[in-house]
């Protein structure tokens, strides 16, 4: 299956909001509500920040939110903070017990 | 607490096989799927497949079908990922699903860097 499509970069000033898109197809992201988002700081393992489209694991700040419409999902970071500067990856269930990931988006805090 | 501890960094010759281990602790090892992902330097995450430690059942991504083998040893709560004919330097991660029936990866190993160099 093909990777989900993410913009390579996004940026915002502290306190602003930034939204990252993730586009799939009607066979993966559009068909299932199993969309996850992961945050990865340089040299670190990824960390789950959103699952099942818009649910946050315990301990993840509520400034992170997710949504989905059709074949696209979005991650919004509200009230951007310096520590939010990282790479972000979306993932979706793609049927037949498989997962597919996006190419990643580097978020820069200006 | 849930922990996944991976084996250490390796250097391999082009075309050699690589085998990475992932030792789990802090939970019922056989109850949760463990996935493997690859990340080339400066690149994104690439899903490789999963193993279900209870049965040993596996599912591999088409990209790696025929080249990857995932196994487990329940006596030591460890899963293994072996990739043959590896020519790419990459970081390999194991990750456990968050709950027994979830499709998100809530727990990650620290990663194992495999460097391919002649």
Q: Which two tokens stand for residue A8?
A: 């390579």
What pLDDT was estimated at residue A36? 98
Inter-chain residue contact A99 with B103, CB threshold 8 Å: yes
Tell me the mean pLDDT in the region B3-22. 96
Residue among B35, B104, B112 with most chain A CBs within 10 A, to mutate? B104
Provide φ and ψ at A16, rounded to 5°: -80, 175
Nearest CA in chain B to A97: B59
Please name the residue of chain B whose CA is at the shortest distance from the CA of residue A91: B104
Q: Can you give the pLDDT at residue B86?
A: 81
- How far CA B66 is from CA of A105, B3, B43, B115, in Å, comes to 30, 29, 23, 21
Q: Is there a contact between B103 and A46 if contact means CB atoms under 8 Å apart?
A: no
Half-sphere exposure of A98 (CA within 13 A, CB side): 20
Write down the mean pLDDT value for chain B.
Answer: 96
- Distance of residue A31 Cα from the nearest chain B Cα, in angstroms: 14
A49, B67, B80 from B19: Cα distances, Å: 29, 12, 7
Q: pLDDT digit string (tens) for B34-54?
A: 999 999 999 999 999 999 999
Q: List, in sequence order, every residue forming a beta bridge with B60; answer none if it has no partner.
A: B49
pLDDT 10s digits, A33-76 = 999 999 999 999 999 999 999 999 999 999 999 999 999 999 99
A21 near A72, Cβ under 8 Å?
A: yes
């Amino acid at each position: 299956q093909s990777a989900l499509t993410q913009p390579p970069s996004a940026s915002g000033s502290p306190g602003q909001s930034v939204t990252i898109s993730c586009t799939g197809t009607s066979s993966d992201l559009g068909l299932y509500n199993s969309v996850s988002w992961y945050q990865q700081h340089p040299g670190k393992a990824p960390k789950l920040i959103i699952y099942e489209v818009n649910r946050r694991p315990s301990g993840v700040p509520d400034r992170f939110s997710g949504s989905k419409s059709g074949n696209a999902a979005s991650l919004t970071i509200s009230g951007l903070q310096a520590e939010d500067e990282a790479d972000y990856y979306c993932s979706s269930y793609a049927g037949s017990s498989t997962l597919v990931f996006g190419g990643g988006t580097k978020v820069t805090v200006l | 607490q849930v922990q996944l501890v991976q084996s250490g960094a390796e250097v391999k010759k082009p075309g050699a096989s690589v085998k990475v281990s992932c030792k789990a602790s802090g939970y019922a090892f056989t109850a949760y799927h463990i996935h493997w992902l690859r990340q080339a330097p400066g690149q994104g995450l690439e899903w490789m497949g999963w193993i279900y430690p209870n049965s040993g059942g596996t599912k591999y991504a088409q990209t790696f079908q025929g080249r990857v083998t995932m196994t487990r040893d329940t006596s030591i709560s460890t899963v293994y990922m072996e990739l043959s004919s590896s020519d790419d330097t990459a970081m390999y991660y194991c990750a456990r699903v968050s709950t027994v029936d979830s499709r998100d990866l809530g727990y990650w190993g620290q990663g194992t860097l495999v460097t391919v160099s002649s």
